[in-house]
Amino acid sequence: MQNPSQVVDEHRSALVLGAGLILISELFLVLSGMVVKHIADDVPVQMIVFFRNALGLVILLPWLMRNGLDAIKTSRIRLHLMRAGVGVTAMTCLFYSWGYLPLAQAALLKQTAPFFIPVIAFIWLGERIPTVVKLAILIGFAGTFLVLNPQEGKLNVAVLIALGGACLGALAKVTIRKMRTTEPAQRIVFYFAFFSAIFSFIPALMVWQPIGWQTLIWLFVVAGTSTLAQLFLSKAYGLAPAGQLGPFTYGSVAFAALMGWWLWGEVLSLNTWLGIALITGGGILAMLGKQLVKSTK
């Protein structure tokens, strides 16, 4: 029987490892965004999304061959289909924002998903929204208002697309929550890549254009970094509660701001920096607040 100090040490070790995996996942995600930004002017977003999922499926084939068809047997195919349909649309929005917004701004708007998740979970799953989370949502959307900067008299379409992608991404995460009791992470990632490759083929076909070997290599990098980001994220959430690890996902904003400044000379406005502070603070409050409510029950 373990003594209390051993349990505490093991919990701390799992939390540290989980936090490290989250940061690695976010770094891979930003690397994916950097490549998308690099090739966005030469390859339509629809094609990038298709190749990301098709090549991601190829990357997962060794896992499938090693574990056999039993690894993908499921009784929740409808939820996998829904998750893929919603997820591939969110991915298209995300890739568009990576290509046409400053990296840090695109990463930041993706992180508004925690403000949509409680609302969607309340409507779909009947989960109560704690008061502290309601406050966090208000703070987060105040930050989003600053990023939108409507007082300039115009709205950036890419920002609105990024917000739509964050909302759809939140719906995809709630779908995962709905089926997490029976579906392991690798199966969820596999079906997402499989169905998303099918769903994204027709839009890609409509704008298809020849690509060279160099571009194909970049597309492999997008698929590899995105797939690794998903797998590291799934592994991390298996080590420690989401409420404790979630705040580390905001590391992507710091990575993206640094890379955007270094490679593209991107400088963010004061409003955007204030928005970053509010959205990050609100997101962390939402995650920690929900965890605190759970711990007091």
59-72 exposure pattern, b = at least 16 Cβ within 10 A, e = fewer: bbeeebeeeeeeeb
Distance of CA 85 to the CA centre of its chain: 15
Q: C-alpha distances in angstroms, 213 versus 76, 210, 223, 227?
A: 38, 10, 15, 21
DSSP of 88-105:
HHHHHHHHHHHHHS-HHH
Determine the Cα–Cα distance for residues 135 and 142; give it in Å rounded to an integer: 11
Confidence check: pLDDT of 120 > 70 = yes
Q: C-alpha distances in angstroms, 164 versus 5, 17, 93, 159, 183?
A: 46, 32, 7, 9, 27
End-to-end Cα separation, the chain, in angstroms:
26
Q: What is the mean pLDDT of residues 13-31?
A: 86
Determine the Cα–Cα distance for residues 59 and 53; give it in Å rounded to an integer: 10
Determine the Cα–Cα distance for residues 133 and 107; give it in Å rounded to an integer: 22
pLDDT tens-digit readout, 177-217: 777 778 887 888 889 889 999 999 999 999 999 999 999 99
pTM over 0.85: no
Q: What percent of the chain has pLDDT over 70?
A: 86
Domain ranges of the chain: 19-296
Length of the chain: 297
Determine the Cα–Cα distance for residues 140 and 275; give it in Å rounded to an integer: 8
| Beta carbons within 8 Å of 190's beta carbon, 6+ residues apart | 57, 60, 63, 64, 71, 72
Q: What is the mean pLDDT of residues 9-13?
A: 68
pLDDT tens-digit readout, 219-234: 999 999 988 888 887 7
